[in-house]
Structure 1
Amino acid sequence: MTGNYITSENNLPEDPAGQETTLQISDERTKEISSVRARIDKIPDNLTDPETLTVVKGPHENTEEEWYIDIIETDEGEDIDLELLESTTAEIEEQSTVINTRSKEVKALLQYLTEKGEFQSVSEASRTIMLQHLSENYPNLVREYIDLKVQSERTDLAEELYEHE
């Protein structure tokens, strides 16, 4: 990886200057998202091989700060079996979307979070927590799924529009 990178301030640890951390960055040119182990600092001389890192922040992430990043290791992630993902996605379209963990412990914890006002419902808590976990731990799978869904929706819309010509 070489070039300029972007990350959200939300991805940074409490005091990131010079310490090794794992964070999600995107390549400014290709927009490819990667999880990397790196050192970051506001002073390029504090790093071995500094590259530009734009840190976006604020409620709309419209404020930028220039930092520097020294990438130690890139996690390219696991290879995604696109055929399996496509068949699984198609299969799910015809099934119930209810997920049941059959776990009193999980239900109790989710109910607690709901009653504390963290979530509107146990279902929302479950969806939110699972999607967050998937996004953080399986970013390549989530990215491929999004691409697959967008492609499918684009195809469906194109078929509908051209059908009425």
Structure 2
Amino acid sequence: MVGKYVTSENNLPEDPAGKEIELQVSDEQTKEISNVRAKIDKTPAGLSDPDTLTVVKGPHENIEEEWYIDILETERDETVDAELLESIMADLEDESTVINTRSAEVKTLLKYLTETGEFTSVSEASRTIMLEYLSETHPNLVSEYIDLKVQNERSELAEELYDQR
């Protein structure tokens, strides 16, 4: 079966046709997100083993363009231990959420980004940079965390509503 993948135009570098690039794609069927090294093109002719790539674009990503992708290398398999992640989430409910790197270098760089107006605070800079990094390098972990967080919040809300009867 031929693979079918989806990516956002925002993930593409300028003029990517035929070039080897790093790209985040999701499997159209399983919705699994992967970072891949690949060649993409608007026609399959220049690719050795092309799969279908739907590129979504526009302000609401509701415009689709059909491309082709030749995946050269996929990110390492990132299996998430959901039980461990859920246990950590539960442990942290009553703990401080402060993260301390004890690094003058990191604090200096974050403070610089704050002073130049890129961020409003060192905390915001730290959160934003870490979340962007985690989203890019560990998409399966972030996705599993979101699923667990929503599931927990839904359970708490259901409990609260049913207790009001």
The two structures have a TM-score, normalised by structure 1, of: 0.89
Residue pair 1:6, 1:25 contacting (<8 A) in 2 also? yes
Higher mean C-alpha displacement, 11-20 vs 112-121: 11-20
Runs of 4+ in 1 over 4 A off after TM superposition: none
- Which amino acid in structure 1 is aligned with residue 39 of structure 2? R
Q: CA deviation at 1:76?
A: 5.2
Aligned-residue RMSD, C-alpha:
1.8
Q: CA deviation at 1:75?
A: 2.6
5+ unaligned residues in a row in structure 2: which ranges? none
What pairs with 1:110-125 in structure 2 (closer than 5 Å)?
A: 110-125=110-125
5+ unaligned residues in a row in structure 1: which ranges? none
**Does 2:91 align with 1:72?**
no
Corresponding residue number in structure 2 for 1:139: 139
Q: CA deviation at 1:164?
A: 2.6
Tell me the distance in 2 between the aligned counterparts of 1:45 and 1:101.
50
Instruction: Note the alpha carbon deviations across 1:10-48, whole angstroms, 9 max, x for none.
Output: 212233111222211112233222222221101111112
Corresponding residue number in structure 1 for 2:11: 11
Corresponding residue number in structure 2 for 1:85: 85
Tell me the distance in 1 between the aligned counterparts of 2:161 and 2:72.
48
Tell me the distance in 1 between the aligned counterparts of 2:27 and 2:79.
20
Residue pair 1:6, 1:56 contacting (<8 A) in 2 also? yes
Q: CA deviation at 1:132?
A: 0.7
Equivalent pairs, count? 165
Corresponding residue number in structure 2 for 1:23: 23
Residue pair 2:3, 2:51 contacting (<8 A) in 1 also? yes
SS at match of 1:18: coil
Q: CA deviation at 1:80?
A: 1.8
Residue pair 1:19, 1:40 contacting (<8 A) in 2 also? yes
Residue pair 1:21, 1:37 contacting (<8 A) in 2 also? yes
Corresponding residue number in structure 2 for 1:32: 32
Tell me the distance in 2 between the aligned counterparts of 1:61 and 1:77.
28
The two structures have a TM-score, normalised by structure 2, of: 0.89
SS at match of 2:100: coil
Percent of aligned pairs with the same amino acid: 73
